[in-house]
């Protein structure tokens, strides 16, 4: 009956977005973030087992758990903070370059390890990805980039 009345009344109705259907409480958000973070760490552990010089080593086996671990850890960060705020923060002027270098290097790890099966290429891209992730983390620290620049200049 209410739907029938709504058809004939001219009241402005609030548009419902897709994100309104996926509201999660704060405690459930933290549980989801912790669970996805632990799953990401577990996937990293599995990827380390496949890259270590053991009988399990294979360049094809390494990237899948590694990239899945990356995705799960990024998902956990997006769950701790509101996803809209986190996306706005990551795409800010200061953080957009390291974030996209990090994402692009994750894709390159998959391509180089699976298609080309290059151990050396995979390691080089992992180093690039680690540096970009560190750069991203430092950009969140107050005066982090200034501290790193001063440390680097004092070391040189």
Could you state, in order of their start, the residue ranges of all structural domains in the chain? Answer: 25-82, 92-156
pLDDT of residue 52: 66
Buried b / exposed e across 100-109, counting CB within 10 Å, b at 16+?
Answer: ebbbebbebb
Question: 46-62: per-residue pLDDT in tens?
Answer: 887 777 665 555 667 77
DSSP 56: T
- Cβ atoms < 10 Å from Cβ of 147: 12
pLDDT of residue 26: 75
pLDDT of residue 39: 93
Q: Is 69 exposed, middle or buried (0-12, 13-18, 19+ CB in 10 A)?
A: buried
Question: 8-39: per-residue pLDDT in tens?
Answer: 665 555 555 555 556 777 788 888 888 988 99
Per-residue pLDDT at 123 exceeds 60: yes
More confidently predicted of 64 and 100: 100
Cα dihedral 107, 126, 90, 152 sign: negative
- Cβ atoms < 10 Å from Cβ of 30: 14
Q: What is the pTM of this model?
A: 0.69
What is the spatial distance between Cα 112 and Cα 16, in angstroms, rounded to a whole number? 43
């Amino acid at each position: 009956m209410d739907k029938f009345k709504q058809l004939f009344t001219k009241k402005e109705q609030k548009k419902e977005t897709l994100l309104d259907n996926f509201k999660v409480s704060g405690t459930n958000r933290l549980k989801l973030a912790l669970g996805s973070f632990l799953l990401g760490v577990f996937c990293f552990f599995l990827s380390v087992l496949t890259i270590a010089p053991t009988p399990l080593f294979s360049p094809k086996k390494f990237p899948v758990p590694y990239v899945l671990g990356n995705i799960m850890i990024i998902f956990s960060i997006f769950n701790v903070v509101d996803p809209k705020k986190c996306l706005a923060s990551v795409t800010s002027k200061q953080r957009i370059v390291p974030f996209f270098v990090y994402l692009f290097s994750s894709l390159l790890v998959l391509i180089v390890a699976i298609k080309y099966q290059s151990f050396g290429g995979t390691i080089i891209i992992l180093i690039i990805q680690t540096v970009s992730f560190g750069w991203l983390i430092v950009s969140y620290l107050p005066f982090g980039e200034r501290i790193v620049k001063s440390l680097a200049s004092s070391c040189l």
